Amino acid sequence: MFEKNMKIAYLLDFYGDALDDHIGSVMRAYYNDDLSLAEIAADEGISRQGVRHLIKKGEEQLFFFEEKFGLAKRHGELTQACKLLSEIADTLEAKPDCEKEAAQISDIIGIILKGNQDVSESD
């Protein structure tokens, strides 16, 4: 009935900072630190039902953000694009007279990954 959805933990990486402080703290305790509802309730000084309510609210906010901004989906697409670019750079490096293009592609991968790195570090 109230199962942990691991997609939520993933969305939390992208949108956790934008949640209300109280909701964010409960969500991280539940999804990242794997505390039980009872443990979180004790820490926060609220009822288990209150914790359940905040988690539900947090989940709704995360799904709302992903629907509007699609950062998680985008992250996957860009990671895939960088993987493909990296393979092309390798191929070019082995060809005569293509080292410059291979190096330029590597630089561009750097630009694309820069905005992806915060989350990919915790992948």
Judged by CB under 8 A, the residue of 8, 46, 78, 119 near its own copies is 78
Residues 18-77 within binding reach of its own copies (CB under 8 A): 18, 64-65, 68-71, 73-74, 77
Tell me if 74 sits within 8 A of 15, measured CB to CB. no
Measured CA distances, 96 to 76, 91, 92, 99 (Å): 33, 10, 8, 8
Q: Which structure tokens are listed for 67?
A: 């629907």
**Residue 108 binds to its own copies (criterion: CB under 8 A):** yes
Question: CA 49: distance to chain centroid?
Answer: 27
- Min CB(17)–its own copies separation in Å: 5
Backbone φ/ψ region at 5: left (φ over 0), alpha (ψ -120 to 50), beta: beta
Among residues 46 and 88, whose Cβ is nearest to its own copies? Answer: 88
Q: Is 121 in the site for its own copies (CB under 8 A)?
A: no
Residue 90 in contact with its own copies, rule: CB under 8 A = no
Q: Burial-class residue 11 by CB neighbours within 10 Å (0-12, 13-18, 19+).
A: buried
Sites of contact with its own copies (CB under 8 A): 15, 17-18, 64-65, 68-71, 73-74, 77-78, 80-81, 84-85, 88, 91-92, 95, 97-98, 101, 104-105, 108, 111-112, 114-115
